[in-house]
Structure 1
Amino acid sequence: MAARGPLRYALILLAAIVPACAAALPADFVYLRDIDPTIIQDIRYAGSNNFVGRPLPGYEAAECIVTRDVALRLKAAQSGLRPRGLSLKMLDCYRPVRAIAEMLAWSQDGVETTAGRRYNPRIAKQDLFRLGYIAVRSGHSTGAALDLTLVELAADNSAVFDPAKDYADCTAPVALRAPEGSVDMGTGYDCSDVKAHTAAQDLTPEQRRWRNELVAVMARQGFVNYAGEWWHFSLPGTGATTYVFPIRPRR
Structure 2
Amino acid sequence: MWAFIHKLGSPKGFYAISARWLTPLWLAAAALILIGGTWGLAFSPADYQQGDSFRIIYVHVPAAFLAQSIFVAMAAAGFVFMVWKIKLADMAAAMMAPLGAGMTFVALFSGAVWGVPTWGTWWQWDARLTSMLILFFLYIGVIALRGAFASRDGGARAASVLAMVGVINIPIIKYSVEWWYTLHQPATFSITSKPAMPAAMWLPLLLMVLGFYCFFIAVTLMRTRSEILRRESSKRWVRALVEEQR
TM class by shorter chain equals: 0.3 to 0.5
Greater relative contact order (CA < 8 Å, ≥ 6 in sequence): 2
Higher helix share: 2
Greater gyration radius = 2
TM-score by length of 2: 0.33
TM-score by length of 1: 0.33
